[in-house]
Amino acid sequence: MKIRTVTVGIRDAFSHKQLEFAMDFNRRCQARFESNGYEVQTTRVSSQAWSKISELDQVLELDRRVVNLGGEFFSLGTILPHVPHTSLQLELVPDAISQSHSLFASATVTTADQQIGWQAAENAASAIHQIAHKTEDGLGNLRFGAIMNCPPNAPFFPAAYWRDEGFNVGIGWQAADLVRSAFVDAPNLDIASARLKDLMEQEGKQIVALVEEVAREAGIRFVGLDVSPAPMGAESIAGAIETQLPCRFGETGTLTVVRAITRTLDSLNLPLCGYSGLMFPVLEDEVLGDRSREGCFSLDSLLLYSAVCGTGLDTIPIPGDTSIRQIYGILTDVASVSIRWGKPLSARLFPVPGLTAGEVTQFDSPYLTNTAVMGVG
């Protein structure tokens, strides 16, 4: 069982004292987990810094501070639609991502009254397009995404942003292995789901007790556990789902299993935060990558699954010549599903310069696998 992230939220990204406190808490929390047998993959700090950002130099100085303190994952927060500086802030994003080492950011493209922020979506599409061509192999888009109806204080990046009275902490686990353990050899989906509920509640209660203890000692608020069974490499959510399918992920029956897992996640007697839904990050899951190369699913398939689960479209490689208008269309499609069902979704798209649909990516990253570029037509 692995902890994907311990994420501390802070009020002021530009306060050296708050940064130091967050980094120190992360180290203490990681040590507590590891002494109890849990592997912690990353620790992160989240903020909502955009109201104080007007120039690129501010952002790059913040990046230097984070790196000097030993940080690797820092969220600037989300750029909101329909505020005076939305367009100017989004214009800073491609250079902020391409010239920094630790910084993540997002753009919210849905409004509080459940409409699509059309200009924000267009500007976010432009940022994705620019990042693809300003960073090696377009890898900078790992650190930027468009989000829709995402709540504050989620632990997973790039959707994380802070909104609270003070410091807080949230946990995101990996847990694809729990799905596999529950599903393997289960005679039917009902029994598999019941096993999964028992496993997740047992493991989740232990995790919650540990982090609540550390948070109490530090005097900060625990916001919850994002129970999304996030995959990584060979620890595959698609592979786990296939143990209850008559065929491959993406083929007949996939939607039914996806819905069953989602219902189980919704039923957990745990303090939940963030997405708490299924993630299908094509570039982070080896079986998903294999099934994508085999043509078992498409962008539209993943969007369909998002209607009953999901985080949306996550780490999706698309052709390098995908136009801003096409990216914009993908973002507004995800936003439309989010608005219709009132659920948090996001889109993290990877236009890969020089590659067309069907060609295989050649990323050299510890966080990504390689698969075929998906068509967008």
pLDDT tens figures, 114-171: 999 999 999 999 999 999 999 999 999 999 999 999 999 999 999 999 999 999 999 9
In sequence order, the β-bridge partners of residue 14 are none
Q: How far apart are CA 290 and CA 251, in angstroms?
A: 13
Determine whether 200 is exposed, middle or buried from the number of CB atoms within 10 Å of its CB (0-12, 13-18, 19+).
buried
Q: How far lies 78's CA from each of 161, 254, 331, in Å?
A: 6, 32, 16
Which residues, 6 or more positions from 10, have their beta carbon under 8 angstroms from its beta carbon? 18, 19, 21, 22, 45, 46, 47, 162, 167
Hey, what amino acid is at 41? Q
DSSP conformational letter for 233: B
Q: Give the pLDDT score at 86.
A: 87
137: left (phi over 0), alpha (psi -120 to 50) or beta: left
Q: Hey, what are 109's tokens? A: 């493209």
Q: How far apart are CA 219 and CA 216, in angstroms?
A: 5
Contact present, 142 and 159 (Cβ < 8 Å): no
Residue entry with tokens 């998903």 = 288
Q: How far apart are CA 104 and CA 145, in angstroms?
A: 9
Residue entry with tokens 């068509």 = 375
pTM listed for this prediction: 0.96
Q: Hey, what are 337's tokens? A: 């599903």
DSSP conformational letter for 234: T
Q: How far apart are CA 324 and CA 123, in angstroms?
A: 9
DSSP-based helix, strand, coil % in the chain, nearest 5: 45, 20, 35
Q: How far apart are CA 204 and CA 276, in angstroms?
A: 12
Residue entry with tokens 């007790």 = 209
Which residues, 6 or more positions from 29, have their beta carbon under 8 angstroms from its beta carbon? 6, 40, 43, 169, 211, 214
Across the chain, mean pLDDT equals 96
Q: How far apart are CA 225 and CA 155, in angstroms?
A: 8
Enumerate residue ranges in the chain where pLDDT < 50. Answer: none
Q: Give the pLDDT score at 45.
A: 98
For helices 86-98 and 56-68, give the axis angle rounded to 10 degrees.
40
DSSP conformational letter for 359: P
Closest CA to 223 of 168, 293, 165, 283: 168
* Rounded (5°) CA angle 314-109-144: 45
